[in-house]
Amino acid sequence: MNSTTRRFFNTLRTLRHENPLGLPKSGEPPMMPRRGLPPKRGIPHVKKVVAVASGKGGVGKSTVAVNLAFSIASRKRARVGVLDLDIFGPSVPKLLGLETAGEPHLTPTGALVPLTNHGLPAMSMGFLLPGADAPVTWRGLMVQKAVQQLLFDVDWRGADAHGPGLDLLVIDMPPGTGDVPLSLGQLVNVDGSVIVSTPQDVALADVRKGIAAFHKLSIPTIGLVLNQSYFLCPSCNTPHRLFGSSDAAKGLGVELLGELPLTPGVSTGGDAGLPYALLTSRSGSETDGLAGHQWREAMTGVAERVWGALHPGTGNVTAPR
């Protein structure tokens, strides 16, 4: 067990709420005041921040977040990173093939260095656990402090701390509207959010709450991605809407950015740590037939619209904060 893991579990045993990840002291992150809201700030060395969220779990939010990050990075030649803020159920290590990559190193100032695969730097609570099945059994205060450290104690410039930083950080949010979204919205200047849902009414009911929560936190909603929107019959290429029509989603009051079909390669690629957008761009072929082509086209459209919303009136990268 190396030093980072030892610090983590020593912290877990003694419940040192002020430093749940056991990082060396390198300045205090912004504290939640007893009254009023703290001033929002930018994430160090990050120009733009977009949150990928849903009020509902199990709708493919993490898969969309990782593929969105890769699609923007490859199409816009932008420096894009992924931050996994799901403390209890982190998925990014699996989706990026980083489950066995070891723990992140620390910079000389004690900041976490992101792990990188497929050209995407990433940080996740999953990198700090001794195994994929190790649970995090924390109460709210520990979760809030861990979120603060993941937001402000990661050096997105890389190990040498001399890199240019990120043009865009995609944050994979946990389901629900509790501690993590509140901490993010109250501490960070978030430039926009992308909401992910499946078409069922039971999912959309929670999505409405998620959109309302971001509105209360003054986080603009860029639009909705409807995942598993339909299934294409392989023999007839007829779309079958297994989980219901998209009409209800269009009534949420936000722009529908794209509809992603059910595609087997998305699941198998994610399990193998290969984002589907990477598979299609590598092969240059119609992966999964027409369904793969339509998935790729839809994700490309989502990436273009998200980038355009973050950079209105220009396709250029903005100046650092």
DSSP string, 134-159: ------HHHHHHHHHHHHHSB-TT-T
- What is the model's pTM? 0.87
Scan for tokens 């992140």, then name that residue: 104
CB atoms within 10 A of CB 35: 4
* Strand pairing report for 115-117 and 120-124: antiparallel
Q: Provide the β-strand partners of residue 41.
A: 188
Of the candidates 243, 249, 251, 252, which has an alpha carbon nearest to the alpha carbon of residue 200? 243
3-state DSSP assignment of residue 261: coil
Which ranges of 233-274 would DSSP assign to H, the alpha helix? 247-250, 264-271
One pLDDT digit (tens) per residue for the chain, 321 residues: 555 544 544 444 444 567 888 787 665 555 655 566 678 999 999 999 999 999 888 899 999 999 999 999 999 999 999 999 999 999 999 999 999 888 899 998 889 999 999 999 999 999 988 777 788 888 888 888 999 999 999 999 987 777 899 999 999 999 988 889 999 999 999 999 999 999 988 999 999 999 999 999 999 999 999 999 999 887 777 888 888 777 877 788 899 999 999 999 999 999 999 999 987 666 544 568 888 989 999 999 999 999 999 999 764 444 334
